[in-house]
């Protein structure tokens, strides 16, 4: 799905550009979503879907009742909000949202609900993510209805819920990717992440003769050390060791419950394999790349970037410290070894040149 999303190249267009101009109440609204779902929302808002009630006005339809529940005429309002199947899906996928508690009299009211969802639904999410989830739910109801009509497929609320969750995770990752920093000259030292609120994580691996060491350093957007991890592992080929360090970084970030992460490494092969998702490009590390992608879905947003070795000195020092000490270790800002403290201070000084 990732490659398809990239081809869509969605932009936060005004919904008023898609919806009938006479619906002026939407003129100031923004909807951040792939074009497919903007178009679908336009069809809902203009009552352009081929529901049985709409077809009744154009064709000879023997039975206009809802395909999902067989209780009422299949209008847009009934299909998406009043049908018991639709209500069950809303409740299971939209944080307990109860459609019956909202007075929605027209198809335009449905779009208003998507664009301006109740703030109590999921306060931990940005509004555009809540709107995106609700748009996916709307689309899934329509897809379920069509599958029943054309394929006689049974209604499966749990399967539909998984479809929506998968779309939300992948689309939110793609749409919330921060742009990499642009500079006229190459970056030669560590720099803070461009978006405020992100945790920047650097990874590295050291591979001497008989063992490997992995290192992970997490810093906030001001350059302050959050945590440093380093551990001894059995000997690995260099590429695998670098990939394992990236995997460990993602595991640690998930354990720390960081939701917005910016992960860097000085192995271009590893980073290119993660970004492309190409098994051939992954070489000997496809299973590690797969695990990284799988775990990254737990974040609200993430980015992977290749950096020069000079931008990754702190993690190199951390890995070397673990090798020289023959132990795995964990540090916070107050107990950094001198060698590590010096390089981190030097990196922190560089933050001011980007502020």
- pLDDT tens, position by position, 160-190: 998 888 888 777 666 655 555 555 456 778 8
pLDDT for 233-277, tens place per residue? 998 888 999 999 999 999 999 999 998 899 999 999 999 888 876
Whether the CB-CB separation of 205 and 235 falls below 8 Å is answered with no
Closest CA to 305 of 178, 168, 205, 174: 178
Q: Is the pLDDT confidence value at 285 over 80?
A: yes
Q: Confirm whether 80 is domain-assigned.
A: yes
Shared domain check, 158 and 109:
yes
What is the DSSP-derived secondary structure letter of residue 194? S
Q: Confirm whether 248 is domain-assigned.
A: yes
Q: Any idea which of 98-102, 158-162, 296-300, 326-330 has the lowest mean pLDDT?
A: 296-300
As for how many domains the chain has, the answer is: 2
pLDDT of residue 254: 93
pLDDT for 93-130, tens place per residue? 888 888 888 888 888 889 889 888 887 777 656 778 88
Shared domain check, 272 and 341:
yes
Shared domain check, 163 and 247:
no
End-of-domain residue from the set 141, 175, 209: 175
pLDDT of residue 186: 63
Distances 255 to 77, 252, 299 between C-alpha atoms, Å:
42, 5, 11
Average pLDDT for 135-140: 94
Distances 93 to 102, 114, 215, 299, 345 between C-alpha atoms, Å:
17, 14, 38, 18, 46
Range of the domain at 350: 199-354
Shared domain check, 158 and 48:
yes
Distances 51 to 78, 85, 127, 145, 166 between C-alpha atoms, Å:
10, 16, 29, 10, 27
End-of-domain residue from the set 175, 210, 240: 175
Shared domain check, 39 and 170:
yes
* Start-to-end C-alpha separation, the chain: 36
Q: Confirm whether 187 is domain-assigned.
A: no
Q: What percent of the chain has pLDDT over 70?
A: 81
Distances 318 to 96, 143, 250, 303, 344 between C-alpha atoms, Å:
46, 52, 18, 22, 10
> What pTM did the predictor assign?
0.52
Shared domain check, 259 and 153:
no
Q: Which residue has the higher pLDDT, 130 or 18?
A: 130
Shared domain check, 146 and 50:
yes
Q: Confirm whether 109 is domain-assigned.
A: yes
Q: E strands within the chain?
A: 199-206, 211-219, 225-234, 260-265, 301-306, 329-331
Shared domain check, 80 and 146:
yes
Exposed, middle or buried by CB within 10 Å (0-12, 13-18, 19+), for 220?
middle
Shared domain check, 231 and 110:
no
Please state, in angstroms and rounded to a whole number, the distance separating the CA atoms of residues 348 and 333. 12
247: its two tokens: 């995997």
Q: Confirm whether 193 is domain-assigned.
A: no
Shared domain check, 125 and 22:
yes
């Amino acid at each position: 799905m990732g490659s398809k999303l990239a081809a869509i190249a969605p932009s936060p267009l005004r919904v008023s550009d898609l919806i009938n101009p006479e619906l002026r109440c939407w003129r100031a609204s923004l909807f951040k979503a792939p074009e497919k779902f903007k178009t679908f929302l336009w069809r809902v808002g203009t009552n352009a879907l081929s529901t049985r009630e709409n077809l009744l006005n154009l064709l000879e339809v023997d039975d206009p009742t809802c395909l999902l529940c067989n209780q009422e005429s299949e209008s847009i309002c009934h299909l998406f909000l009043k049908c018991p199947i639709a209500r069950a899906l809303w409740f299971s996928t939209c944080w307990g949202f109860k459609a019956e508690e909202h007075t929605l009299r027209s198809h335009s009211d449905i779009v208003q609900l998507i664009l301006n969802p109740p703030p109590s639904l999921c306060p931990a999410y940005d509004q555009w993510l809540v709107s995106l989830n609700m748009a996916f739910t709307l689309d899934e109801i329509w897809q379920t209805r069509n599958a029943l009509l054309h394929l006689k497929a049974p209604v499966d609320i749990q399967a539909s819920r998984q479809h929506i969750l998968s779309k939300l995770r992948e689309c939110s990752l793609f749409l919330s990717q921060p742009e990499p920093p642009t500079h006229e000259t190459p970056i030669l030292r560590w720099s803070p992440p461009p978006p405020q609120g992100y945790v920047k994580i650097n990874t590295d691996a050291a591979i001497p003769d008989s063992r490997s060491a992995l290192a992970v350093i997490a810093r906030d957007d001001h350059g302050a050390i959050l945590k440093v991890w380093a551990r001894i592992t059995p000997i690995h080929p260099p590429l695998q060791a670098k990939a394992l360090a990236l995997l460990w970084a993602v595991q640690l970030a998930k354990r720390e419950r960081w939701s917005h992460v910016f992960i860097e490494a000085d192995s271009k092969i590893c980073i290119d394999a993660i970004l492309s998702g190409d098994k051939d490009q992954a070489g000997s590390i496809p299973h590690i790349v797969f695990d990284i992608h799988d775990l990254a879905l737990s974040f609200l947003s993430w980015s992977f970037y290749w950096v020069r070795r000079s931008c990754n000195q702190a993690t190199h020092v951390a890995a070397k410290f673990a090798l020289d000490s023959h132990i795995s270790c964990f540090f916070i800002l107050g107990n950094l070894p001198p060698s590590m403290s010096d390089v981190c201070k030097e990196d922190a000084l560089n933050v001011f040149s980007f502020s």
